[in-house]
Chain A
Amino acid sequence: MTIRLRFFASLRERLKMSDATHEAAAGATAADVWSALCREHPDLEPLSGSVSFAVNREYVERLHPLHDGDELALIPPVSGGAASSADNSSRSPTNRQALHVRDRL
């Protein structure tokens, strides 16, 4: 199956391209595609712990199964950043879901 890949920011610069098409085996997951990319581009390997994935513009878990024609975006950590080093307001309970996303990054 054919997957369309999108690269942004630090990943785009490392790969020197913003998109690509990728042939993956039936049943491949987002993590499988990432592993294949890392084999092709070993300097991506250190980013494995921080990259997250979106399929067709929705965040997905690493083991999300892909389908022919999917657009898989590889998302480096978003601009995030602390409000200030002393301000932990973004960790308030109102942001539990956001933290869940951050934990996946």
Chain B
Amino acid sequence: MFEIVSDPIDAAAVSAAVADPTTGATCTFIGTTRDHNDGRVVTALEYEAYPEMARAELRKIGDEARRRWPITKIAIVHRIGVVPIGEASVVIAVSSAHRVAAFEACHFAIDRLKEVVPIWKKEHFDGGEVWIGSQTGTRFE
């Protein structure tokens, strides 16, 4: 399961997608929108994707995780659009026979996702908005 969605993510469903009787560990990472960043009060986060390429890049992350760790299944779902504070913007679930592989592959997957997957985040805060990474935002007067 490698998906870009615009509705709220059901983290339990993502975990369930990697369930397998041969596994003894499922590691699920839930990235949620935080109410502060860089000393500012954040009111909402908005995500935009290049969806066709983002899905392909998510699949590549899954393939690479499988090559590097003895994991059984991996699922990654990223939400786009406005994500209210406290809700999940990304959920990654990895299952494996033993826990170390699931932990390490899950950590790898979120780090790599943030480096290479064409998804952009706009932070809305009191008094302005900014695209994170490019820092070409507008401060409202």
Q: Are B56 and A78 in contact (CB under 8 A)?
A: no
Contact B116 A8 (CB under 8 A): no
A75 to B108, CA, bound (A): 22
Pick the residue among A10, A89, A99 that contacts B134 (CB under 8 A): A10
Main secondary structure of the interface of B (DSSP, over half): mixed
With A9-B131, A57-B52 known to touch, is A75 a contact of B136 (CB < 8 Å)?
Answer: no
Q: A14 contacts the other chain (Cβ, under 8 Å)?
A: yes
Q: Number of contact residues on A: which range applies?
A: 20 to 34
Digit string of B109-141 for contact with A (CB within 8 Å is 1, else 0)?
A: 001101111111110000000011110100000
Given contacts A9-B131, A9-B134, A95-B111, contact A78 B48 (CB under 8 A): no
Looking at the assembled complex, report how far the CB atom of A55 sits from the nearest CB atom of chain B, in whole angstroms: 10
Given contacts A80-B133, A81-B132, contact A73 B115 (CB under 8 A): no
Are B136 and A10 in contact, with the CB atoms below 8 A?
yes
Chain B residue nearest in CB terms to A7: B50
Taking the complex as formed, is A101 at the interface, i.e. its CB lies under 8 A from any CB of chain B?
A: yes
Q: Are B48 and A90 in contact (CB under 8 A)?
A: no
A50 to chain B, nearest CB (A): 6
Residues of chain A within 8 A of B132, CB atoms compared: 79-81
Interface check A47, CB cutoff 8 A: yes
A12, A94, A99 — which one has the most chain B CB atoms within 10 A of its CB? A94
Q: Which residues on A are within 8 Å of B, measured CB to CB?
A: 6, 8-10, 12-14, 47, 50, 54, 57-59, 73, 75-81, 83, 89-90, 94-95, 98-99, 101-102
Binding site for A on B (CB under 8 A): 47-50, 52-53, 56, 68, 107-108, 111-112, 114-122, 131-134, 136
**Interchain Cβ contacts under 8 Å between A and B, 19 examples:** A6-B50, A10-B131, A10-B136, A47-B134, A54-B53, A57-B53, A57-B56, A76-B120, A76-B136, A78-B117, A78-B118, A78-B133, A79-B120, A79-B121, A81-B132, A81-B133, A90-B111, A90-B114, A90-B115
